Amino acid sequence: MSTEIRLDHHRELRIGIPEAILCEGKTDEHLCEILEEADRLGAALLLTRLPRERLAALPDRLRAKLDHEPVSRTAFFGQPRAIETRAKVAIVSAGTSDARVFREVARTLRFHGRACREFHDVGLAGLWRVMERVEEIGSHPIVIVVAGMDAALPTVVGGLVKSALIAVPTSNGYGVAAGGESALRATLASCSAGITVVNIDNGFGAACAAIRILSAIDSATKSEVS
């Protein structure tokens, strides 16, 4: 079976982000093989979509090396990068129902050593909640807005801040909101200019997009200074 797995060791070199493991859809056997391989190489690994229930299928030795967070269903295998001092990313969410997703954003950033600041439960049904924090939000070069249902929050934030803006539609809700298609469409059709979007519930992807932008900023400041 091991012939079915080939890790992409040079990915970080190429794109600035090491390979991560999406556990959903993988068999327990494949998951173990991947961890063994990483362990052998001494590589740190981010695992996503790994619900607590699946941990039991791992051998104790491997499980012991996992730092698992149940709401986001992420795990760090091995040591994440040292964290930078200043938060350049703001994570904004409309309500606690999206915790699953905004914690995935935060955990992914953390694994890659990127600091962030969180602004939660600022849904538009109480506009004052986002208004009183919008200046602080806008002081970050990158803003990630996690929003389900009608996903109106990215539009309002996008009309108020200069920052690069990444929207993560979520699958939370019922009726037309269930599954996140409504939130996805609303963010794509936003009347605020320059909002970008990732897949429904894709907190990992939004964090990676932020990391790409942060790399661009880092390069620019380095070349500028030198």
Q: Among 109, 145, 146, 208, which residue interacts with a second copy (rule: CB under 8 A)?
A: 208
16, burial (CB in 10 Å: exposed 0-12, middle 13-18, buried 19+): middle
Q: Does 104 bind a second copy (CB under 8 A)?
A: no
> Per-residue x/- marks for a second copy, 131-150, CB under 8 A?
----------xx-----xxx
Contacts of 98 (CB under 8 A, 6+ apart): 146, 147, 148, 170, 172
Under the binding rule (CB under 8 A), the answer on residue 127 touching a second copy is yes
Q: Which of 10, 52, 61, 81 binds a second copy (CB under 8 A)?
A: 10
Can you tell me which residue has the tokens 């079915």?
Answer: 4
CA pair distance 113, 214, nearest whole angstrom: 11
In whole angstroms, give the CA distance from residue 178 to residue 84.
37
Least Å from the CB of residue 101 to a second copy: 10
As measured in angstroms, the least distance from the Cβ of 141 to a second copy is 4
Q: Does 55 bind a second copy (CB under 8 A)?
A: no
Q: Report how far apart, in Å, the C-alpha atoms of 179 and of each of 68, 79, 199, 205 are.
A: 25, 34, 11, 18
Residues 13-32 that bind a second copy (CB under 8 A): 14-17, 19-20, 22, 24-27, 30
- In angstroms, what is the minimal distance from the CB of 84 to a second copy? 13
* Footprint on residues 68-97 left by a second copy (CB under 8 A): 71, 94-97
Tokens of 199: 């897949």
Piece in contact with a second copy (CB under 8 A), picked from 35-43, 61-69, 77-85, 207-215: 207-215
Question: What is the residue whose two structure tokens read 């997703």?
Answer: 101
